[in-house]
Amino acid sequence: MIRPEVAVGLVRWREVLAAAGVALLGLWLFSLGGYLLGPLGAGVIALGAAWALIAFRRMRFDRAIDAPGMVEVDEGQIGYFGAGQGLGGYVALRDLTEIRLLMLRGRQYWRLKGADGQAILIPTAAAGAAALYDAFAGLPGIDMGRLTAALDRRVAAQSLWTREPKKLAPKA
């Protein structure tokens, strides 16, 4: 009944559409007016708009899978299984010190550097790479808007986030 390409588009945009539905519900509540429904509707509109922004950014991380390997985010740890190329590894989010986006041979890769100095390269188009959005969002001081915008730029290397060094308390 629905053309396959339309169905694929609807599945891809499903979270943004759900957020828009929440915003429309808020608009309806706001239109009813009054001292209770007016502010409630405005709050629901704000909630729907914020959710739509986050959903749109998350959707930009979800790329067509055309790179080898698989990404897994589990219990505060990012793992990449590199499809028999000798690539891959793990880095714990608490040990992550740097995120870069590299362009190598026409493909984009996340370069995640750990506190021990080792780095892993993860293709942005690997299976499960969309889960990195939620993993990165919990990092201190990260600008997710800058991170998602970087995916559209075809630059050789972009440094997107570095962990601030821990400050030691002065001795008395």
pLDDT tens-digit series, residues 105-132:
889 999 999 999 899 999 998 899 989 9
Regarding whether 88 and 37 lie in a shared domain, the answer is no
Q: Is residue 38 a part of any domain in this protein?
A: yes
Regarding whether 123 and 54 lie in a shared domain, the answer is no
Q: Is residue 128 a part of any domain in this protein?
A: yes
Regarding whether 85 and 38 lie in a shared domain, the answer is no
The 10s digit of each residue's pLDDT in 126-164 is 899 989 999 999 999 999 999 989 998 888 999 999 998
Q: Which domain, by its residues, includes 149?
A: 70-162
Distance CA 101, CA 65 (A): 18
Regarding whether 33 and 16 lie in a shared domain, the answer is yes
- Answer whether 0.85 is exceeded by the pTM: no
Regarding whether 14 and 49 lie in a shared domain, the answer is yes
Q: Is residue 171 a part of any domain in this protein?
A: no
Q: Please identify, among 61, 87, 103, the residue that sits at the C-terminal boundary of a domain.
A: 61
Output the 3-class SS for 16-64.
Answer: HHHHHHHHHHHHHHHHHCHHHHHHHHHHHHHHHHHHHHHHHHHHHHCCC
User: Which among 54, 56, 52, 82 has a CA at the least distance from the CA of 69?
Assistant: 82
> Does residue 113 contact residue 159 with C-beta atoms inside 8 Å?
no
Count of domains in the chain?
A: 2
Regarding whether 75 and 55 lie in a shared domain, the answer is no
Regarding whether 56 and 12 lie in a shared domain, the answer is yes
Residue in the structure block whose two tokens are 């998350």: 58
Q: Please identify, among 41, 61, 81, the residue that sits at the C-terminal boundary of a domain.
A: 61
Regarding whether 42 and 99 lie in a shared domain, the answer is no
Q: Is residue 86 a part of any domain in this protein?
A: yes
Greatest Cα-to-Cα distance within the chain, rounded to the nearest angstrom: 75
Q: Is residue 172 a part of any domain in this protein?
A: no
Which tokens sit at 94?
């608490």
Q: Is the pLDDT of residue 6 over 70?
A: yes
